[in-house]
Amino acid sequence: RAQRATRPAAPAGAAAAAPRSAQEGAALGAVRRQMEALEERVGCQLSELRRQAERPREAAFTRLEEKLQETESSSMKLDLRLSELTGNVRGLSEEMQVQIKRVDLIDDRLSEWRQRIEEELRQKYVEFDQSIQRASSSFRVGNSYVEEAQKRQQQRLQKLEAQVAELASQEERTQEALLDAHGRLDAAEERLIEAEPGFRAAAAEPCAAGACAVDGALVSLLEKRVGEVTEKLDQAMQDSCEQRAALAVQEEQLRSLRTLSDAREE
């Protein structure tokens, strides 16, 4: 515009065309102003559109940055967690190595213990087998000894039974002798009782020296025989008591021997 304003005036030949140019210039100016106004409106609209288009992008960028920050923080946390897990895994690995060494050591000790136990069991089994063989041989010897002892006890039982039978017969004979002695003693006492009045009468009457001597000798003889019979009876009673005691002892021994024999046979 300034250039147009400062242009030199047109020559005289162009004076007729000046109004037309002025109209065209005015029209162009109006068009230019309209174009400028349109450009301004379009620029404003473009700016508004740019601002409207930049708002979602900025919001998206903001959200993206927030997500990136969250991702970075999560990544840092994950790195820390990964470091912790790595340390834990390393510690567990070291602990596992220690446990493996301990297990290997325990396995070695267990193998040694198993070998030692097997050797001890084998030795004990051999000793037990030997003891069983010794016990078997001693049992056979003891069995033969027991059989011999049973035979001897059987013979002894037979002897004791014979002795008991003999003692029983002796006791019967002693009882019979005692009964006979009692009978004889009773008869002698009866004869003495019957002869006692005659002795008294003879003692009351005077008699010759020879008759008195005979009577005194007879009385002495009778008293002596009565004393002997009494001693024999006492001895017989004592022998009978001793025989009964011995018989009871032998019967008790016989019962105990029979009990032992029955127990051994069972």
The per-residue pLDDT for range 122-136, each reduced to its tens digit, is 998 898 888 888 888
Task: Please give the domain boundaries of the chain with CATH numbers for all domains.
Answer: 153-265 (1.10.287)
Q: Are 230 and 178 a contacting pair, CB within 8 Å? A: no
Q: Which of 19-33, 69-83, 228-242 has the lowest mean pLDDT?
A: 228-242
Query: What are 16-62's pLDDT values in tens digits?
Result: 556 677 777 777 888 888 888 888 888 888 888 777 777 777 777 78
- Taking residues 73-80, report their average pLDDT: 83
Q: State yes or no: pLDDT of 9 exceeds 60.
A: no
Q: Are 232 and 128 a contacting pair, CB within 8 Å? A: no
Per-residue confidence at 228, pLDDT binned at 50, 70, 90? confident
Give, for 121, the enclosing helix (H) or strand (E).
helix 18-204
Q: State yes or no: pLDDT of 116 exceeds 80.
A: yes
Give the pLDDT confidence score for residue 105 in this predicted structure. Answer: 92
Per-residue confidence at 207, pLDDT binned at 50, 70, 90? very low
Angle between helices 18-204 and 209-265 (to 10 degrees): 160
Q: Taking the model in full, what pTM does it have?
A: 0.29
Looking at residue 15, the DSSP 8-state letter turns out to be S
The type of residue at 140 is R
| Total length of the chain | 266
Q: Which two tokens stand for residue 217?
A: 């000798």
